[in-house]
């Protein structure tokens, strides 16, 4: 396996570790506020790294419009939908649904960059999609204790189909954002600088959207005398902020930058498909953290996902 292909697996590992922290932090901060703070932290970190290593280049500014659009679609819309899905479906279901970004990436790269799609790749796409469906339908253990940590991670909130739709939109937006960033990478732009522009544009959009959201909530609270259900930021512990920063660093600074580098130096479909192995990596992680073995359906779905990823990597 080449370093380009390995970048997809490294990104998957980073996202798996960070995803395990997500449910508790989302519950504490609220999905929208959590994502805004996370992306803002990642943006500041990436900009500082880029300024320190002085990796801004004329090529970067030539494609700045496309990179900003990439950040708005892939991160502002994509990540907002992703963590809203996390709040509704939990990490395992959302991770498996998000794995459908692999077949999406192969099909879109075929249309946009004329990257060839072999019969084996088509078959592999089918395996990934089938694995996602099986894990969603048959991935929950029937004997999960009601008050256990595993049950808390598996519990769904709100409309399940709405959560599934959010996860699929997140997968599509992530692929679209990655494709929009590839032209700049093909011209030699630094991957960290590319990530800095993408994440910073998303951070600006999120801060504006969050400011408007807070303003509306305050007006609603004044008119209806309804209490604010979210915990005030000053009452949130320092360790929780550290948890958000850890997620931002692992998921966006490391994971996303590595993925962007892989996309710029290799086949979009292959790299994205390998990054879709999160459902496989998250199963033993959930087993370790909850002490309960995942259901047979979850393992079968994950095996199909990783088999499809392996076929694409090997052939």
**CA dist., res. 175 & res. 164, Å (int):** 17
Which of 109-113, 164-168, 172-176, 226-230 shows the lowest mean pLDDT across its residues? 226-230
- Model confidence, pTM: 0.80
Q: Each residue of 22-63: pLDDT tens digit?
A: 778 888 888 788 889 999 999 999 999 999 887 778 888 889
Q: Provide the token pair at 173.
A: 């937006």
For the chain, what's the residue count? 315
pLDDT at position 225, please? 58
The residue ranking higher by pLDDT, 314 or 119, is 119
The residue ranking higher by pLDDT, 202 or 3, is 202
Arithmetic mean of pLDDT, 239-255:
91
pLDDT at position 249, please? 93
Residue 257 above 70 pLDDT? yes
Domain extents in the chain: 3-314
Residues 6+ apart with CB under 8 A from 130: 301, 304
Q: Provide the token pair at 36.
A: 């805004």
**CB–CB of 213/32 below 8 Å?**
yes
Residue 307 above 90 pLDDT? no
Of 93, 95, 73, 75, nearest in space to 16 by CA: 95
The residue ranking higher by pLDDT, 117 or 164, is 164
**CA dist., res. 100 & res. 126, Å (int):** 10
Residues 6+ apart with CB under 8 A from 235: none
């Amino acid at each position: 396996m080449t370093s380009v292909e390995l970048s997809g697996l490294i990104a998957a590992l980073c996202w798996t570790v960070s995803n395990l922290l997500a449910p508790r932090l989302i519950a504490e901060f609220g999905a929208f506020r959590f994502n805004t703070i996370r992306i803002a932290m990642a943006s500041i970190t990436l900009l500082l790294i880029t300024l320190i290593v002085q990796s801004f280049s004329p090529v970067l500014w030539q494609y700045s419009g496309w990179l900003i659009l990439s950040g708005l679609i892939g991160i502002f819309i994509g990540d907002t939908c992703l963590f809203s899905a996390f709040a509704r479906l939990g990490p395992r279901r959302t991770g498996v649904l998000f794995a459908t970004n692999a077949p999406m990436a192969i099909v879109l790269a075929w249309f946009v960059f004329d990257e060839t799609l072999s019969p084996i790749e088509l078959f592999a796409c089918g395996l990934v999609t089938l694995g996602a469906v099986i894990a969603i339908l048959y991935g929950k253990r029937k004997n999960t204790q009601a008050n256990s940590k595993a049950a808390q991670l598996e519990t769904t909130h709100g409309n399940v189909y709405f959560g599934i739709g959010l996860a699929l939109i997140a997968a599509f937006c992530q692929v679209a954002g990655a494709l929009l960033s590839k032209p700049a990478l093909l011209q030699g732009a630094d991957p960290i600088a590319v990530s800095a522009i993408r994440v910073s544009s998303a951070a600006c959009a999120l801060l504006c959207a969050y400011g408007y959201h807070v303003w509306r909530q305050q007006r609603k609270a004044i008119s209806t005398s309804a209490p604010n259900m979210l915990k005030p930021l000053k009452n949130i512990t320092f360790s929780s902020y550290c948890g958000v920063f850890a997620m931002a660093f692992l998921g966006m600074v490391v994971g996303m930058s590595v993925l962007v580098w892989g996309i710029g130096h290799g086949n979009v479909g292959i790299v994205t498909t390998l990054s879709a192995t999160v459902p496989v990596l998250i199963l033993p992680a959930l087993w370790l953290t909850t002490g309960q073995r995942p259901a047979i359906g979850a393992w079968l779905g994950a095996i199909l996902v990783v088999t499809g990823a392996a076929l694409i990597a090997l052939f």
